[in-house]
Amino acid sequence: MKSKFYFTAIFLVTTLASAQDNSFLDQETEKDTVKPKKYILEEVIVAGSHQNTPSVSKSNIKEMDLPQATSSISSDVLQKQQTKTLTDILKNANGVYIMGTSGGYQEEIASRGFSLRSDNTFKNGIRYYNGMMIETSGLEKVEFLKGSAAMLYGNVAPGGVLNLVTKKPKKNFGGAIGFAQGSFSTYKPTFDVYDGLGAKKNVAFRINGSYENAESYRNYVTSEKYYINPSFTFQLSEKTELLVEADYTNDSRTPDFGAGVINYEIVALPRNRFLGVSWGRYDAEQLSSTLTLTHKINENWSVNFINGIRYYQTNLLANARPNTGGLISENGDWNRSIQKADSKDNYFTQQANLNGLFALGTTKHNVLFGADVENFKNYATRYNNASYDTINIFEDYNPDTEAAIPDITKNRLTTTPISRFGIYAQDLVSLTEKWKVLAGVRYSYQDTETNVVTYNNNTSTTTNNYDDAFSPRVGLIYQPTKNHTVFATYSNSFDVNTGADINNEPLKPSIIDQYEVGFKNKLFKEIIQANITFYQINNNNLAQTSLVDPNFKELAGSIRSEGVEIDIITKPFNGLQIMAGYSFNETKYVKSNTYIEGSLLRYNPKNTANLSANYSFEAGRLKGLNLGLINTYFGERYAGRSTQVRVANDTRQLIYLQDFFQVDATVGYQFKKATLRAKLSNVFNELSYNAHDDNSLNPIAPRNFSIALQYNL
């Protein structure tokens, strides 16, 4: 009932706004009201820039007016760099990185020291499950909103949010068909078709998809993926448009948890050695659909409504990680066990956003009002691990000697229905031409029910958590000129905790404070965009094990993340585009009764950097030729297990992972409607590792190539 009330309230506000005959755009200058042409500025975009305001910000605020670090990677960059994975995409967004690749079947994203879970990952504005490989062929652009996004989305991790924007319909006929082939027996056909329907083309469609089949640089590892992305637009009136989108991915691959660690030290093994089971599979599929209704009420006000559904299902059957079936002995023997897990999730959301502009006295306002409702229902089935066999990691794996798949019995079924509701308001107030204030607040309510059925003893338990929180954001903006911005922002977010305190009461959410100071600059007639951001994130009530009773928890720990990010984008002359960035981050335990105070959180590099250059010949005999270099630096970090101070003579240790520098090279040539592209990744065959968890590491891909031919329709 609450959600219906708030949606009704927003509808009434839009109706009143539409009915206003004396909007501030129509007011006379005699009353000292600024004319609209001076207020609504045309968007200025740096040539070659990918720093436009992300749509995931939900507002019409220009990037220079937003007191927050952002990044938008355009389709032009995605195409020229020939991105195939999320790892490739993140080479253009400093401070956002892959912190792990669990089993080789997902890319675990992190930013500013915090994992960006599925709650922080969006596709076309609704939450997207990122526990599987993300298909990139259907993407139009990728957006990042760094730092706090809790005012807009409620319960999200503090590092930021990622939004994947898919290709949209076009009213004129076009598209492309393509075929790519590369190392490790990889091949991938793609297609993309769009057009308008009818004489007036009030209906347009687009459908694109791909199929990928590949082996791997790891022996006995294979993958197969299907993807399709249809969408339609309906121009219902001059001011009203309906966008209908669907997105489906089916991905199946061999799990590969790696096993090159003995006594928390990396063991030098051949990069292609596989130590899993050849019959292991991780099958994942995800279907999402959105309906977005956008109505322009008048020149000042617009409203949109989003209805979204998402379904995913995963099935894992593979060998367990080393620390599950037993650690690897010094001689390389490993007693393996088999794991199995099934999961599925149904998700539904409704969102409404009202954006408006108005003047009040000498001040100007850019406001956002919104509300959203979300419902999840997750089913997670876990099975009892079964003993399997013993292998030696120093010997090549032989699948011909594999034993039969053992019988695996169910352990428990966990059903988790979650209901979320939020309402929020935000106002960008222009006090003068140079001084502005952004202020907003959100109220969030979350109802989490957890039902656990344990098959071993045929028991069932149910717990309920009811959490709510206010998430404010306030930012001060100073603009000495239209091309320079200085800002300072405070915001907070909340993180729902599981478990109970010493009084057996549900644990309250952790409130996380974030501070951000930044400088945004467009230099040399907007040829260069250079931004620098400083931030600090404090979770001063981190949930940890209680000192009184280890079966309970307490909000007594503290984590601090602080760092700096530098972005430079420039197109110094026609044809050349350069993007560069550097990030420093330190995330550590400031207070803890579980881990050593001052110790760093695992998986997070202190330093990351990127530098890419792309040159397109725009005239002469080489017209149509495109050359590119992509350079990335990933600093040293730690995997393994953090030492626990509460455990006497704890044998846990961290695993040191050395920093590495990687270079990719691209070349493309377009002739009339045909484009030929090639890419050489990891040019210098750099060796490093992706971490999964305690003792599970895999080497990154060695030097490899891909070549693709595309014909434009």
- Domain range list for the chain: 69-712
According to the model, what pLDDT value does residue 423 have?
Answer: 98
Taking the C-alpha atoms of residue 467 and residue 418, their distance in angstroms, rounded to an integer, is 11
**Residue 17: pLDDT over 70:** no
What SS3 state is found at 503? coil
**Residue 403: pLDDT over 50:** yes
**Residue 321: pLDDT over 70:** yes
pLDDT (tens digit per residue) in 533-542: 999 999 998 9
Taking the C-alpha atoms of residue 357 and residue 302, their distance in angstroms, rounded to an integer, is 9
Task: Decide if 89 contacts 82 (C-beta within 8 A).
Answer: no
Question: 69-712 maps to which CATH number?
Answer: 2.40.170.20
Task: Decide if 642 contacts 599 (C-beta within 8 A).
Answer: yes
Residue 45 pLDDT grade (very low, low, confident, very high; cuts 50, 70, 90):
very low
pLDDT (tens digit per residue) in 439-482: 999 999 999 999 999 998 899 999 998 999 999 999 999 999 99
Tokens 């600093």 label which residue? Answer: 635
Residue 260 pLDDT grade (very low, low, confident, very high; cuts 50, 70, 90):
confident
Residues of 190-227 as b/e, b for ≥16 C-beta within 10 angstroms? bbbbbbbeeeeeebbbbbbbbbbebebbbbbbbbebeb
pLDDT (tens digit per residue) in 546-571: 877 878 888 889 999 999 999 999 99
Task: Decide if 684 contacts 146 (C-beta within 8 A).
Answer: no
What SS3 state is found at 86? helix
Dig out the tokens for 231 from the structure.
């969408």
According to the model, what pLDDT value does residue 169 have?
Answer: 97
pLDDT (tens digit per residue) in 47-100: 333 446 778 899 989 999 999 999 899 999 999 999 999 999 999 988 899 888
Taking the C-alpha atoms of residue 523 and residue 529, their distance in angstroms, rounded to an integer, is 6
